[in-house]
Amino acid sequence: SPESEALVTPTPSSVASASRSRTVRPYRSPEVEDVIEEPDVPEPEALKDERSVLR
């Protein structure tokens, strides 16, 4: 009985994970766009710093 439940538990878990991923993707898309816009500006500066440090 417990073994059967253990096998059935991961199945719905995987489905819920996929379902959540799809729901979070479109909902987070607009948020991510705004969040990416801000770090997008310092990104080139950070890359320059990293490059000079590596060189």
* SS (HEC) of the chain: CHHHHHHHCHHHHHHHHHHHHHHHHHHHHHHHHHHHHHHHCHHHHHHHHHHHHHC
Q: What is the mean pLDDT of residues 6-13?
A: 57
Q: What is the mean pLDDT of residues 18-46?
A: 54
Q: What is the mean pLDDT of residues 25-34?
A: 54
For the chain, how many structural domains are there in total?
1
> Virtual CA dihedral for 39, 44, 48, 53, nearest 10 degrees?
30
Q: Which domain holds residue 41?
A: 2-54
Instruction: Give the Cα separation of 52 and 43 in Å (integer).
Output: 14
- Specify the pTM: 0.16
For residue 30, name the pLDDT band (cuts at 50, 70, 90): low
